[in-house]
Amino acid sequence: MLGKIMNNTTLWIVVGLIAAVLIFKRLSYISPEAARKYLQEGALVVDVRSAEEYRGEHLPMAVNIPLGDLQNRLPSRVNDKNQVLLLHCLSGTRSGIAKRQLKGMGYQNVFNLGSYGRAKSIVSGMRGN
């Protein structure tokens, strides 16, 4: 009996932790409205997925700089550390890592769009698209 209670308690703790992580991840995304405003003002969309993923499907205005290449390639592409950068990947995890990495490099206006699907939805919801 005690073993069953412990297993149920452990299960609920794990479920709770997973839910908390997912909620926290979602809260770290820029709002669609703010992202669209930045896009209209000339924000750069950076797809941090691999080159293979990018070739398979990508947003027309996105530049592909894979997460592992950001430190080497982004500074030559974007030397203005105040440029608004909207990052996305497949699920939002790599773009979250990229956001922290770029903030550490001194970029001031870096935002996580989240997953490719979310980014696509935000971009397609803009007027004129």
Q: What percent of the chain has pLDDT over 70?
A: 80
Q: What percent of the chain has pLDDT over 90?
A: 74
User: Angle between the 93-104 and 70-77 helix axes, to the nearest 10 degrees?
Assistant: 70
In this structure, the answer to whether residues 75 and 99 fall within a common structural domain is yes
In this structure, the answer to whether residues 55 and 23 fall within a common structural domain is no
Q: Which amino acid is at 104?
A: G
Q: Is 89 a catalytic residue?
A: yes
Catalytic residue among 39, 87, 89, 122: 89
Convert the pLDDT of each residue in 45-72 to its tens digit: 999 999 999 999 999 999 999 999 999 9
pTM, two decimal places: 0.79
Strands 63-64 and 110-115: unpaired
In this structure, the answer to whether residues 102 and 43 fall within a common structural domain is yes
In this structure, the answer to whether residues 52 and 22 fall within a common structural domain is no
Residue 106 forms part of a structural domain: yes
Among 7-16, 30-39, 74-83, the least confident range: 7-16
Tell me the residue range of the domain where 105 lies.
31-124
Number of domains in the chain: 2
Residue 129 forms part of a structural domain: no
What is the per-residue DSSP string for 1-53? -HHHHHHHHHHHHHHHHHHHHHHHHHHTBPPHHHHHHHHHTTPEEEE-S-HHH
Hey, what are 54's tokens? 């990018």
